């Protein structure tokens, strides 16, 4: 949708362009994709506040929406629904689907006369390169020959392996045992889960919260807020018993109450693009040695200045940042020294790995004892979130991870790290912690979870969970080695972890055809005799053409988003900000510009470029 919006915004600037036909291909949800389907449950919410999001590539002038000029998601929401204030700014995902359809309608309404947009309800099953064009084979048995193809295929469904394969095989042959594979909750079939049935959930990220609400208020239960701000849960009687667990045993912390305006921008002074480029130029970069200390110093700075602002006032907080710049401070120790001089009397030690694994090394005598401890941790996290993402030192500090994603990309993308560091320090270690600490749900989800724990509908089994099929008892046992007597017999197991990007395991017929045709290969990070095969599509820098198995560039194809994860980092984002293009919109526009072959930055079309351009924006799930 972003490529389409930018493509049409550029085409509108042409007075007498050559004929262009655009094919927007999706198998059932044209304009929204399956993730933003308007048919999904209203209880499934986004985890980014609506005012930070726009699918238009320009600020709205209040007139009729058009490519490059339209309302932000928050503005649209307030115009089309009367419940904006009820959600604290976090919209139902179905609303965002409606918004995307509004964007698509604005695009269609303003198409230049020489442009035709075809909406094709089908899946692209395979793609063949034929000289300078591509032949797309569709699931409706049609074939489509095009000149350019944008592949924006989104989250994969992967071939199962290891523990997931073991559980799937066991459930497939065992009566009364069900395994539900990792996916969007909107696409999970939860209808077979019976009241009071024991359901295990692997992973406690955003999908865990989605499952929690679908299996409770999605089944007729109600949350009631008490005078003291807490919630109680009134069950419908149709709820299962939920037993959850993860590596850390901690549900992803909630986001701080939003205090930031829609045009908020954070400007780092330690963890900067300049430092990233300078370090990367020297080569052999290790994440733990060269990158993480700078990021933690920036996090410490925001924590310290937030504390100083609360205790000493705004001018003292500003002075800390000015002194960090003045004295070229680039370490946690340096920030602590300057903060101490200004009145903070204790050292600040923020270790993101400790924050993400709060129960490491702890043993608990029972599940009840663990849940009492966890409940206290959740209550403290909620109280901190209520101070806001500017007022809470820790919530403000952890927002630095979100706000400096582009700096992290400068270090990491296209093999910027040593291969071993890329695999073990970054992808295996930092990546999950980054999401855990910076991408939580809205704060009221914590109150709901606490209420469900008190009602004995949700129980967290503990850290480092283990799953063991039992053919004797026709069940799967879930347990934690850190919690004594924690084994629980389950009838249903749901994988709530996000499927990783690995094109070799992707079940998509299109992806496998691209691999078989030598168009897709995984990006391999190489350094001397060390190699790390990432699983993401090997692409060029912007505009992201796939690099074929024979080393040549497929310069009429483009790959955007999640299929390139690990080649680049954090490709899940799919929108921009209302007031400023972020990386995603910049990428989408670069593809749109390249499609038009010879258009300059003003969007003018080169009359010598290919006649009768045909572009397929293909999304195959």
- pLDDT for 599 beyond 50: no
Considering only CA atoms, which of 260, 288, 526 is closest in space to residue 389? 260
From 227, 263, 406, 391, select the one nearest 317 (Cα to Cα). Answer: 391
88: left (phi over 0), alpha (psi -120 to 50) or beta: left
This prediction has a pTM of: 0.92
Grade residue 338 by pLDDT with cuts at 50, 70 and 90: very high
User: For residue 50, is pLDDT > 80?
Assistant: yes
**Average confidence (pLDDT) over 464-493:** 95
User: What's the rounded mean pLDDT across residues 352-357?
Assistant: 95
Over residues 102-120, the pLDDT tens digits come to: 999 999 999 999 999 999 9
Q: Are 339 and 308 in contact (CB under 8 A)?
A: yes
Q: What are the tens digits of pLDDT across the range 307-321?
A: 999 999 999 999 999
Higher confidence at residue 378 or residue 346?
378
Lowest mean pLDDT among 542-546, 547-551, 609-613: 609-613
Average pLDDT, stretch 445-465?
Answer: 97
Q: What is the mean pLDDT of the chain?
A: 92
Looking at residues 517-537, what average pLDDT do you find? 95
Average pLDDT score over residue span 143-172? 93
Whether the predicted pLDDT of 303 surpasses 90:
yes
Q: Is 86 exposed, middle or buried (0-12, 13-18, 19+ CB in 10 A)?
A: exposed
Query: pLDDT, tens digit, for every residue of 57-67?
Result: 999 999 999 99
pLDDT of residue 259: 92
pLDDT given at position 597: 80
609 confidence band (pLDDT: 50, 70, 90): very low
Question: What is the distance between the alpha carbons of residues 434 and 438, in angstroms, rounded to a whole number?
Answer: 6
Flag the least confident range among 42-56, 189-203, 468-482, 588-602.
588-602
CB 57 within 8 A of CB 80: no
Cβ atoms of 245 and 460 within 8 Å: the answer is yes
pLDDT at position 446 over 70 = yes
């Amino acid at each position: 949708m972003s490529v389409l919006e930018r493509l049409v915004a550029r085409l509108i600037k042409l007075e007498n362009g050559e004929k262009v036909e655009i094919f927007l291909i999706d198998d059932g949800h044209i304009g929204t994709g399956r993730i933003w389907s308007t048919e999904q449950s209203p209880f499934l919410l986004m985890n980014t506040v609506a005012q930070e999001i726009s699918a238009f590539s320009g600020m709205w002038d209040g007139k009729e929406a058009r490519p490059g000029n339209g309302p932000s998601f928050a503005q649209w929401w307030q115009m089309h629904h009367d419940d904006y204030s009820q959600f604290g700014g976090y919209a139902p995902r179905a609303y965002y689907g409606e918004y995307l359809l509004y964007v698509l309608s604005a695009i269609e309404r303003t198409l230049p006369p020489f442009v035709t947009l075809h909406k094709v309800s089908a899946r692209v099953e395979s793609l063949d390169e034929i000289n300078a064009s591509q032949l797309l084979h569709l699931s409706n048995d049609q074939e489509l020959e095009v000149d350019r193809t944008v592949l924006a295929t989104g989250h994969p469904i992967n071939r199962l392996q290891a523990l997931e394969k073991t559980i799937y095989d066991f459930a497939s042959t065992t009566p009364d045992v069900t395994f539900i594979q990792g996916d969007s909750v909107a696409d999970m079939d939860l209808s077979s889960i019976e009241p009071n049935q024991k359901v295990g959930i692997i992973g406690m990220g955003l999908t865990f919260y989605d499952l929690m609400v679908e299996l409770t208020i999605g089944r007729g239960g109600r949350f009631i807020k008490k005078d003291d701000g807490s919630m109680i849960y009134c069950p419908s009687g149709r709820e299962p018993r939920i037993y959850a667990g993860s590596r850390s045993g901690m549900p992803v912390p909630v986001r701080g109450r939003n205090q930031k305006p829609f045009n908020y921008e954070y400007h780092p002074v330690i963890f900067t693009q300049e430092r990233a480029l300078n370090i990367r130029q020297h080569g052999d970069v290790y994440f733990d040695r060269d990158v993480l200390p700078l990021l933690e110093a920036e996090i410490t700075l925001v924590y310290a200045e937030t504390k100083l602002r609360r205790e000493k006032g705004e001018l003292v907080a500003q002075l800390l940042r000015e002194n960090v710049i003045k004295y070229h401070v680039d370490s946690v120790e340096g920030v602590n020294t300057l903060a101490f001089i200004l009145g903070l009397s204790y050292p600040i030690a923020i270790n993101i790995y400790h924050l993400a694994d709060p129960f490491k090394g702890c043993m608990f005598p029972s599940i009840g004892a663990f849940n009492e401890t966890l409940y206290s941790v959740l209550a403290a996290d909620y109280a901190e979130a209520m101070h806001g993402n500017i007022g809470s030192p820790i919530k403000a500090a952890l927002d630095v991870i979100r706000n400096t994603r582009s700096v992290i990309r400068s270090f990491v993308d296209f093999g910027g790290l040593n291969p071993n560091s890329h695999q073990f320090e970054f992808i295996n270690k930092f990546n999950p912690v980054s999401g855990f600490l910076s991408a939580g749900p809205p704060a009221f989800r914590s109150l709901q979870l606490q209420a469900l724990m008190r009602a004995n509908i949700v129980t967290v089994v503990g850290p480092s969970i283990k799953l063991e099929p039992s053919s004797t008892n026709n069940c799967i046992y879930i347990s934690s080695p850190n919690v004594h007597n924690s084994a629980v017999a389950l009838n249903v197991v749901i994988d709530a972890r996000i499927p990783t990007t690995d094109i070799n395991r992707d079940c998509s017929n299109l992806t496998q055809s691209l691999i078989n045709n030598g168009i897709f290969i995984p990006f391999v990070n190489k350094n001397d005799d060390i190699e790390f095969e990432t699983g993401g599509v090997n692409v060029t820098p912007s505009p992201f053409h796939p690099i074929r198995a024979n080393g040549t560039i497929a310069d009429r194809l483009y790959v955007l988003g999640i299929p390139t994860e690990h080649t680049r980092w954090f490709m899940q984002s799919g929108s921009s900000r209302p007031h400023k293009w972020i990386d995603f919109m910049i990428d989408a526009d670069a593809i749109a510009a390249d499609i038009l072959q010879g258009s300059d930055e003003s969007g003018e079309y080169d009359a010598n470029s290919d006649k009768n351009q045909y572009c397929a924006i293909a999304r195959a799930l």
